[in-house]
Amino acid sequence: MPDLLKPSQELASPELATEYARWFVNRRAYTRQSETAHLSSGRHYYYRPKNSGAEVHLTLRDIERHLEGHITLGLYAINPRTQRVKWMAIDADYRRALEDLLRLQYELGQSGIQAALEQSRRGGHLWIFFESPVPANQARIFVRHIAGKLSVELKGSGKTDGLELFPRQDRVEAGQFGSAIRGPLGVHRAAGKRYWFYGAAYNLPAQMEYLRSLRRVTERQLAELIADIPAVGEVALPPASYKAAGQSGFQILDYVEARRTVGRNWVTQCPACAAAGHDRSQDNLAISVAEPWKYLCWAGCTKEQIRAALGVPLPLYSGDQR
């Protein structure tokens, strides 16, 4: 459990605040957690501070006060001018949340990514930092892919339990904000507790040193990681003669219509997702162009589920594992 800590025990400085802003602040609009509980729900909601109706911009002094525990900031993920993010956070707050986050942290480590696990009230937040801001959609593609690989559910892919990604969307329009997440190292106003990163001693200097030490993911590294999985951007190509490779048996392209390729894959709606009313953007199913008998659902549907949704269930005792 997080340690109880009197906010006044931690001292920030303009230098620490500057560093924190460089890592975490994507735009100067922000939210603040209410000091008082909502009368009916008892929750401490986040609101966007206003000064006589005008937007208030985040200052270094605000960040210092956040780090010292006097106020608690919520930070937005996307810079609306560039549609880029400095970080990606994965929020999980269900019963087996920590287990899923630890598996993700390990899997990311296998790709050379040092992700930092932060405590939260009911689970945790897993943070990935980029060396310089990367396109929000690219970051989301990669994390969805890793989650799908581990069959970890995303919220909105059929279950109420699941991971939430920050940013929650690929882009924000002018005048929009997207979702904010509690700024790391902040003190939760309701619990009066600070949620630390697991990777270091539970004090501000050690935590900042830990964050400083993490290897950042470069834009190029991210691009390489997603080169083999479907990316955003459409290329209109008619399906190739996918049976030319001499493959017999089940061919998924006989059953789904893939009208576009992205990178090295056909992309279309996943039949199993569709059966559950999901994947409205019709891009969860990736089919390899070079080896069209290989296919994968980003949201984590199994081959059994996909074949069943197509009405051609996998034979139980044959060698056909497609």
- Contact footprint for Zn ion (CB under 5 A): 270, 272-273, 284, 297, 299, 301
Structure tokens at 129: 């930092």
| Strand positions, DSSP E, 93-207 | 116-119, 124-135, 164-166, 180-182, 187-188, 193-194
Shorter beta-carbon distance to Zn ion: residue 74 or 230: 230
Q: Please name the residues in contact with 217: beta carbons below 8 A apart, sequence gap of 6 or more.
A: 113, 128, 129, 130, 131, 134
Shorter beta-carbon distance to Zn ion: residue 88 or 154: 154
CA distances from 113 to 77, 254, 318 (A): 19, 38, 39
Shorter beta-carbon distance to Zn ion: residue 71 or 165: 165
Q: Which residue blocks in the chain are alpha helix, DSSP H?
A: 14-24, 60-68, 97-110, 136-149, 204-213, 219-226, 271-275, 303-309
CB of 146 to Zn ion, least distance (A): 16
Nearest of 72, 60, 70, 65 to residue 28 by alpha carbon: 60
Shorter beta-carbon distance to Zn ion: residue 78 or 143: 143
CB of 120 to Zn ion, least distance (A): 28
CB of 213 to Zn ion, least distance (A): 38
Shorter beta-carbon distance to Zn ion: residue 72 or 268: 268
Structure tokens at 244: 């030319």
Got the DSSP string for 224-240? HHHTTS--SS-EE-PPP
CB of 270 to Zn ion, least distance (A): 3
CB of 258 to Zn ion, least distance (A): 14
- Residue 79's Cβ-side half-sphere holds a number of Cα atoms within 13 Å equal to 15
CB of 217 to Zn ion, least distance (A): 26
Shorter beta-carbon distance to Zn ion: residue 134 or 258: 258
